[in-house]
Structure 1
Amino acid sequence: MPRHPKLKPRPPHSFVLEALATLEPDVRRMFSGWSVYVGNRLFMMLLDHAKYPKDNGVWLVLSEATDPMDAELRQALPSLRPIQGLGSKIGHWLVLPADCAEFEQEALHACDLILSHDPRLGRIPQWRR
């Protein structure tokens, strides 16, 4: 019986990568999702995993100087919330949940913030310093 080649898994929420295409993001597997780097900065992780349905969506990485409760950021991205699976362990990662009614609109707005070099988003991981 012939063996069928396995399909390579693809990152979810491809519209996010399309929106960031001019920055030539580097997309890599990370845990159960896909990390998105621009240069040395990690900006987000894309997750769509059956095991973690409440945390599926776009995980945004805040800069070192950004308070996770930043009122302006919360106003720009109203559905932004802590990642349930992380508890309070990593406060600088927040999720735009895929099950939110405005998910695509808010995810694209987050991309606009990244494209405009908003200093509240992205950080250089320790292993890249």
Structure 2
Amino acid sequence: MDALMPLNPEVRRMFSGFAVYLRDRIVCMLRDHPKSPQDNGVWLVLSDGTNPGDEKLRREFPSIRRIELLGNKIGHWLVIPSDSPGFEREALHACDLLLRHDPRFGRIPKSRR
């Protein structure tokens, strides 16, 4: 969260974690919960035009994967697992991209439209 402070993020409780909003867009969720620990980490929210299988995205985030808790229902949320060897580096890289307003991340939730 410290890395995103220049953007004045809004943090809200969501499911079993904390959702991070930049203005009207949800960009990620931070999760650390004993139930389904395999899905703990940083959940990134991809924009409408971003393909979850994009090779460039996979190279930038080697550990990124689908969220098991969501099954195949929501494909635009991906997790950087907290137990992956490159977690800290990848999470900070995601913050860097958010600071640069990377268009691949963030969506306006239906409740805010």
TM-score range for the pair, normalised by the shorter chain length: over 0.9
Q: CA deviation at 1:22?
A: 0.2
Aligned to 1:124: 108
Structure 2 gaps, min length 5: none
**Relative contact order, higher structure (CA 8 A, sep 6+):** 2
1:91 to 48, 51, 75: 75
Return the alpha-carbon distance in structure 1 between the equivalents of residues 29 and 80 of structure 2.
11
Shift of 1:64: 0.3
Q: Where has structure 1 moved over 3 Å in runs of 4 or more?
A: none
Count of residues in Structure 1 that have an aligned counterpart in Structure 2: 113
Q: Radius of gyration: which is bigger?
A: 1
CA drift of 1:127 comes to 1.0
| Sequence identity percentage | 62
Q: Corresponding residue for 1:81? A: 65
Unaligned ranges ≥5, structure 1:
1-16
**How far does the alpha carbon of each residue in 1:51-94 deviate from its partner, in whole angstroms, 9 at most, with x for none?**
12000000000000000001111111111100011110000000
2:93 aligns to what SS in structure 1?
Answer: helix
Per-residue CA distance 1:84-107 (angstroms, 9 max, x = gap)? 111100000000000001101000
Out of 85, 104, 110, the residue aligned to residue 88 of structure 2 is 104
Q: 1:51 aligns with which of 17, 35, 42?
A: 35
TM norm structure 2: 0.98
TM norm structure 1: 0.86
